[in-house]
């Protein structure tokens, strides 16, 4: 996943304004850094997205975006 896709999913799920606030303030327990700092440290955007989803209780059916349904 590219960072552009990460930001698309963040904004789609949390809104364009709050997505960036969340990325700057939510400390991901898996990395002990914020989502933004994790990305800057070179963590794969997909892994950061999954960590955000886990901590924010994003339902599995929304983790790929609104138009893409997960494979069964």
Task: Report pLDDT digits (tens) over 6-40.
Answer: 999 999 999 999 999 999 999 999 999 999 999 99
Position 46 confidence tier, pLDDT thresholds 50, 70, 90: very high
pLDDT for 58 equals 94
What confidence tier does 70 reach under pLDDT thresholds 50, 70, 90?
low
Q: Which two tokens stand for residue 20?
A: 């960036």
CA 67, 18, 71 angle in degrees (round to 5)?
Answer: 25
Tell me the two tokens of residue 33: 């850094």
Computed over every residue of the chain, the mean pLDDT equals 92
Angle between helices 45-56 and 16-25 (to 10 degrees): 100
Residue 10, token pair as written in the block = 């963040």
Nearest to 21 by CA among 42, 45, 52, 61: 52
Give me the pLDDT at residue 64, please.
85
């Amino acid at each position: 996943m590219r960072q552009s896709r990460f930001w698309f999913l963040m904004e789609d799920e949390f809104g364009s304004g709050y997505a960036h606030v969340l990325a700057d303030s939510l400390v991901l327990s898996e990395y002990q850094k914020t989502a933004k700092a994790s990305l800057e440290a070179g963590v794969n955007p997909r892994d950061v997205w999954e960590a955000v989803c886990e901590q924010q209780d994003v339902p599995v059916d929304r983790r790929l975006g609104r138009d893409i349904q997960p494979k069964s």
